[in-house]
Structure 1
Amino acid sequence: MYNLATNLERNATFLGNNTALIFQDKTISYRQLNAMVNQAANQLVKLGIMPDEKVAISCPNTPAFVIGYYAIQKIGAIAVPLNVMLKGPEVAYHLADSDAVALISFQGNNALPCGEYCYEGFNQTDSCRHYILIESEGENASIPHDAHRFNQWLLSPETTFNAVYRAAEDTCVILYTSGTTGRAKGAELSQSNMLCNAQACQALTNQKGTDVSIAILPLFHTFGQSLIMNTSILTASALVLIPRFVPKTVMQQMHQHKVTHLAGVPTMFIGLLAFAEKHGGDYIKDIAATLKVAISGGASMPVEILKQFETKLNVPVIEGYGLSESSPVAAFNHLEYERKPGSIGQPLPGVTMKVVDSKGNEVPLGKEGELLIRGHNVMKGYYKKPEETAKTIVDGWLHTGDIVRMDEGGYVYVVDRLKEVIIRGGYNIYPRDIEETFMTHSDVHLVAVIGIPHKTYGEEVKAFIVPKEGATTSSKAFITWGRERLADFKYPRQVEIVESLPMTATGKILKRLLQ
């Protein structure tokens, strides 16, 4: 039986007293977590949601995300996790594109009004029938009259539910990604994709039921979802949930709960290292005494930062590589082998990689080319986009769009990217999405968006705007306008107003000349 939720059911039966989730001052055992997932699953069924229907979920790292995600799995439906920073029109696009019939949304607050944005997007999507609100503690905001109340679901006496049978190839989750071209696309990942990736992550990190991992990566993101949440549930280990990354809070939680496994993007490691250097002593020594492994992904970590972190916390830092389209983990430095800083390591067992030139021919070792991946981790395809899928998966090989080289030991080094994805703090941002938004502004004639180097985030978003004749909108006003319409991680922090953009004879903008 292939259903991701059966891992949770097994742990509830055989290791029910093991701690599953730690959130602020609350501790939830595997038996309790399974019961809460069952309560939510029963309510989803009562709404008439059927196997293979899509249910979107927008929630930060709280127990409600884990409960909602696994309840969707239990009933045989397909989870569509959404970034909590999406604005109303962006939510509407994702709901309509995924054919979601229900949306589970965290209420949020003034600082994170995701409930407000989600309800706006829900009302713009006729095909989405149910709005389910996770009420925030201490918030007095009005509840929409047509909202189902998630917290009340968890008061239900119906605490049993048997997971619906799923075949290995059945879709488990749709993760939205920029892919290689155009607007965000939904990568369809199967039950087998997700289970195999969790098992691979367990093997990579030697995670056991007695370990404690910490979720500083958002669980709606592929990295946090597979490597942190699903792997913890698979191994019956404890998971400390951090809804917002604050180095001091993370360090305190790592110290208090004796965290053994830490995973994050490079900007998080930079923040934690800065805190550790400023607040050293026994506090850091205690963390180093229990921390077994630190995992970095999402972007290349500066080698100097990696070495400093390893020294300061006396822990091996292993770097890896993955895409939403590869479930996500595809390659990693392995603890039992030589770790090469600056390398993404070697392919996972069962995963094959090759490096090819522009004609698809393999290049010699040490030479640069595009990275192709084949194996149990490759997605089924982009949801409802067969042409995009055919461009990305050719003869079973996933074309990553990344330029790499491979050494004689099979270690892979990312050199550059074919695609124009901007990686800001571990988030993938596709310029065309921003450009299309800005082209709706009445004062914009042309716009080109690029990534520029940034010390903290790796890259920052910059827009070059050619205004229409007679337009008077300032750079500052353009930035404000973009912030109101795009997710907070995505809008351009810099806007430069220019008279023209460099172009080829056919009218293609030469973005490399804007760098």
Structure 2
Amino acid sequence: MEQSSVIQTTGPGRSKQAKLTELHVNVWRTDMPLSGRPLEAPINIAQLLRAGVARAPDGLALVSTAARYSWRELDRASGNLAGNLLDLGLKPGDRVASLLPNCAALIIHYLACMKSGVVGVPLNYRYMAPEIDRALAVSQASVLIAHGGRERDLAGSRQVAELPHGLILHEAEAGCRPSLQDLIAKRPAQRELPVPKASDPAFIFFTSGSTGPAKGVTHSREGLGWMFATYAAALELTADDVMLPASSMSHIGGFGFSFGSLAVGARTIVAHSFDSQHLLELLRAQRPTILWIQPMMLFQLVRDASARREDFRSLRHCRSGSDKVPAELARAFADLTGMLISEGMGMTEVGVVTATPSSAMIKVGTIGQAAPGVQLSIRDEAGRELPAGAEGRLWISARGLATGYLGDPVATAAVMRGGWFDSGDIMKADEEGYLAFCGRKKQLIVHDGSNISPQEVEDALLQHEAVALAGVVGVPDLVHGENVHAYVALKPGAPVPTEQELIGFARARVGYKAPERVEFLTEMPLNAGKIDRAALKALAAKREATAPRQSFDASDASPVLAQGSTNAGDGPNSA
């Protein structure tokens, strides 16, 4: 069955865009597989700025509260950095890791990677030394570009000292090593940039799975170009748009929406932090047409006493992802802005999966339809496709799909088969192809939009001399999606640690993934000799049911929104 939908616009800024008031959209297939409209071609990532430079070379391309770049200036800065990285002795294919908060220099660095053929390896800015070491080792990084504010933390890293090309700092005290600012400003000796193959790796993103530490998701140059094309088409971006991605640009959502916008010549705003006052400042000063924001940040924004409907007047579309938008938040946003939130799904392995474009009808409670260039299939556990209305596992196919998990063919084979990717999410589709999230098969915890592996947190707790067994589960939370809850059984005769001691012990090893609560059990539930997480979740649910009903307080969101703690967004709804 195929069906077309009548476009219905929502929100005060919609009429600005090409009179999209009442038309017919491209057809979506609503039998299996569900198919988004086809894409014409991938973005050439080496020439990603071409449209903007050709259209308005002196127009504003990239803006933040600290920097402004025209298209010509952005092209020159990224070209300088591309050439200077190669002048340092790096070659196409070498891995260049980055540990930077959101800033214009991070965008310039990514563009330089695309131009020079070196492979970008974005690291979560909240990573602690053990996580940094593992990512550097797995990616076989040649150099690390890091913010000067993390220099003390990097002193505890074993891998940084062994990097072939060492450490490049940004916004650090003056020293002998090259600074990122110098490499951006200096004209390179090398003028001709190499032309890598389309199949060569372009970026490696780290994302947590249900077991073990984060895996390196590898995207090819051509695949990344298709992904950017999907990002642009999913929101019907044009050169007249202004994009505000209120998310870390080291995660796939903020990364993809930023470069999908730049690729079509749309101005992009860099949010240095995601507290409500900073976002309101950007909304008022820059007047974006598109806002991409995670639910936790939206909670704080709509509860800010200074927020007014006028602040959102320029928007034609607000997309949220990385976790489900609670009904309370959706109502509060609609009351404040007069707009509906468009929910969508994305994953580190593929980018945008579902979308409701600005010109289409938003169905509250759904995550939209298959994004352009994407095919979706809902299947039972035997792999048989299911009809509309039936719940099943979501499989994804797209030309922007990652090539696999770096150095882990077993993990790759477990989820990628015949060009299809097993999301691990349980979905159902209605007769118009709109999808609804029903649950998750994988034992992931999604906290503030970031995937957290229970096993990784358990392994950290088990390093404590008093802990014999550890089990970690996610507990539903209105603001944060899920909170990390740990259960431990202690070794007989060992000194008894406090809850806060164990939380601090875990935080020193896994940073933001550390549990919010630790409970002590005399006996750990086991199933076939393994930690029975299902029993632990039932125990947590029972205790939550007897606790007072949770209501939202804006202060609940504020501690994790400070600079240096802003990188969220690799969860199953991260784009």
TM-score w.r.t. the length of structure 2 is 0.82
Distance in 1 between residues matched to 2:158 and 2:196, nearest whole Å:
28
The 5 Å alignment of 1:399-438 reads 399-438=422-461
Contact 1:90 1:121 in 2 (8 A): no
Instruction: Look up the SS of the partner of 1:486 in the other structure.
Output: helix
Residue 167 of structure 2 corresponds to: 131
Asked whether the equivalents of residues 333 and 343 of structure 1 are also in contact (C-alpha less than 8 Å), the reply is no
Question: Of residues 318, 331, 346 in structure 1, which corresponds to 2:369?
Answer: 346
Aligned partners of 1:447 and 1:269: how far apart in 2? Answer: 34
Q: What are the equivalent positions in structure 2 for 1:100-115 lying under 5 Å apart?
A: 100-108=141-149, 114-115=150-151
Residue 404 to residue 461, structure 1, CA distance change in 2 (3 Å): same
Contact (CA 8 Å) 1:38, 1:160: kept in 2 or not?
Answer: no
Runs of 4+ in 1 over 6 A off after TM superposition: none
Aligned-residue identity in percent: 28
- Looking at structure 1, the residues matched to 250 and 285 of structure 2 have their Cα atoms a distance apart, in angstroms, of 25
Contact 2:43 2:229 in 1 (8 A): no
Q: Which residue of 1 aligns with 2:294?
A: 265
TM-score, normalised on structure 1?
A: 0.91
Distance of 2:66 and 2:143 partners within structure 1: 31
Deviations 1:189-224 (A, max 9, x none): 122222222222222223222322223200001110
C-alpha displacement of 1:346: 1.1
User: Are 2:123 and 1:94 aligned?
Assistant: no
Q: Corresponding residue for 2:261?
A: 232
Q: What secondary structure does 2:48 align onto?
A: helix
1:119 is displaced (CA, Å) by 4.9
Q: Does the 8 Å contact 1:86/1:486 carry over to 2?
A: yes
1:211-222 equivalences under 5 Å are: 211-222=241-252
Aligned pair partner of 1:508 in 506, 524, 530: 530
How far does residue 310 in structure 1 lie from its aligned partner after superposition?
3.0
Matches within 5 A, 1:307-322: 307-322=331-346
Which residue of structure 1 aligns with residue 86 of structure 2? 45
Note the C-alpha offset of 1:122. 6.0
My pick for the range that moved more, 423-432 or 6-15, is: 6-15
Report Cα offsets for 1:215-254 as digits up to 9, x if no partner: 3200001110002x11221122222212211101111211
User: Alpha-carbon deviation of 1:130?
Assistant: 2.2
Whether the 8 Å contact between 1:3 and 1:163 is mirrored in structure 2 is no
Moved more, 243-252 or 355-364: 355-364
The residue aligned with 1:295 is 319
Q: Distance in 1 between matches of 2:188 and 2:387?
A: 60
Amino acid at match of 2:260: T
SS in 2 for 1:21: strand
- Using the alignment, how far apart are the partners of 1:9 and 1:120 within structure 2? 42
Specify the alignment match of 1:470 in structure 2.
493
User: Alpha carbons of 1:122 and 1:2: their partners in 2 closer, same or farther (altered >3 Å)?
Assistant: farther
Task: Indicate how the Cα distance of structure 1 residues 163 and 178 shifts in structure 2: closer, same or farther if over 3 A, else same.
Answer: same
Relative distance call for 1:14 and 1:336 in structure 2 (3 A) is: closer
Partner amino acid, structure 1, of 2:77 = M
Asked if 1:77 is matched to 2:106, the reply is no
Q: Distance in 2 between matches of 1:347 and 1:502?
A: 41
Q: CA RMSD in A?
A: 2.0
CA contact (8 A) 2:50 2:263 kept: no
Q: Distance in 1 between matches of 2:188 and 2:218?
A: 31
Q: Taking structure 1 as reference, are residues 502 and 176 closer, same or farther at Cα in structure 2, changes over 3 Å only? A: same
Q: How far does residue 377 in structure 1 lie from its aligned partner after superposition?
A: 2.5
1:465·1:495 contact (CA, 8 Å) conserved in 2? yes
Structure 1 portions without partners, runs of 5+: 109-113
Name the SS for the 1:154 alignment partner.
Answer: helix
- Are 1:332 and 2:362 matched, yes or no? no
SS in 1 for 2:486: strand
**1:480 and 1:285 mapped to 2: Cα distance?**
41
Q: Tell me the amino acid that sits aligned with residue 293 of structure 1.
A: H
Q: 1:161 to 1:116 in 2, by over 3 A?
A: farther
Q: Secondary structure at the match of 1:121?
A: coil
User: Structure 1, residues 246-301: CA drift from partner, whole Å, max 9, x if none?
Assistant: 101111211011121110111111111111xx225xxx233232111111111111
User: What CA deviation, in whole Å up to 9, does each residue of 1:61-81 have, x standing for no partner?
Assistant: 111101111112211111110
- Closer, same or farther: CA 406–396 of 1 in aligned 2, 3 Å: same
* Residues 20 and 192 (structure 1), Cα distance of their counterparts in 2 relative to 1, 3 Å cut: same
CA–CA distance in structure 2, aligned partners of residues 261 and 193 of structure 1: 24
Displacement of 1:308 in angstroms is 2.9
Cα distance in 1 for partners of 2:161, 2:327 equals 46
> What residue is the counterpart of 2:555 in the other structure?
none
Q: In structure 1, what residue type is equivalent to 2:279?
A: V
8 Å CA contact 1:36, 1:159 repeated in 2: no
The corresponding residue for 1:111 is none
- Whether the aligned pair in 2 keeps the contact of 1:13 and 1:31 (CA below 8 Å) is no
- Tell me the matched-pair count: 495
Q: Aligned equivalents of 1:409 and 1:162: distance in 2?
A: 50
Provide, for residues 306-340 of structure 1, a one-character-per-residue CA deviation record: whole Å limited to 9, x for no partner. 243134213342111111111x1111123333221
Superposed displacement of residue 86, structure 1: 0.5
Hey, what's the Cα distance between the residues in 1 that align with 2:55 and 2:373?
A: 30
Corresponding letter in the other structure for 1:116: R
Deviation of the 1:11 alpha carbon: 2.8
Check conservation: 2:355, 2:368, Cα contact below 8 A: yes
Q: Is contact 1:297–1:319 with CA below 8 Å preserved after alignment?
A: yes
Unaligned runs of 5+ in 2: 1-41, 538-575
Distance of aligned partners of 1:494 and 1:237 in 2 relative to their CA distance in 1, 3 Å threshold: same
Q: How far apart are 1:180 and its partner, in Å?
A: 4.5
Say which SS state the counterpart of residue 107 (structure 2) adopts. Answer: helix
